[in-house]
Structure 1
């Protein structure tokens, strides 16, 4: 085992755990690999979202009511 790896206890819903075990078997990958990949993807999505927010920080704010009025005026609602 890689010494840079950290251990953690994670509690899964029984059905989720069973699904992970089946996927682990079918893909010949460990549960740790599957969970690490899922967490990595989730964190990457968060990073993408934060980058998008940072790019749009100077855009004007538009209220929900204004958007609804525009959609109705354009016949999309």
Structure 2
């Protein structure tokens, strides 16, 4: 649903993707615009969660791949 603050944007979708989005919007009783906006919000939330996880682990010690494989007794995979 467009709000007073909503901004118009033009996007180009592959015809099959457009058809799928149109069907999903109809089945969900929402507009294509609402569906796409929510998908973008979800993607940005994922990015924010990834950034938060990276920031919280930045003080953790680094571990080499070789050490991880040895810990799981998988060093034979390196040969």
Question: If the length of structure 1 is used for normalisation, what is the TM-score?
Answer: 0.84
Task: Report the aligned-residue RMSD.
Answer: 1.4
Higher relative contact order (CA 8 A, sep 6+): 2
Q: Structure 2, unaligned stretches of length 5 or more? A: 75-79
Q: CA deviation at 1:2?
A: 2.7
Question: If the length of structure 2 is used for normalisation, what is the TM-score?
Answer: 0.82
Q: Structure 1, unaligned stretches of length 5 or more? A: none
* 1:9-63: CA deviation from partner (whole Å, max 9, x where unpaired): 1111211111000011111110000000011011011111111111111000111
Instruction: State how many pairs are aligned.
Output: 73
Stretches (4+) displaced over 4 A: none
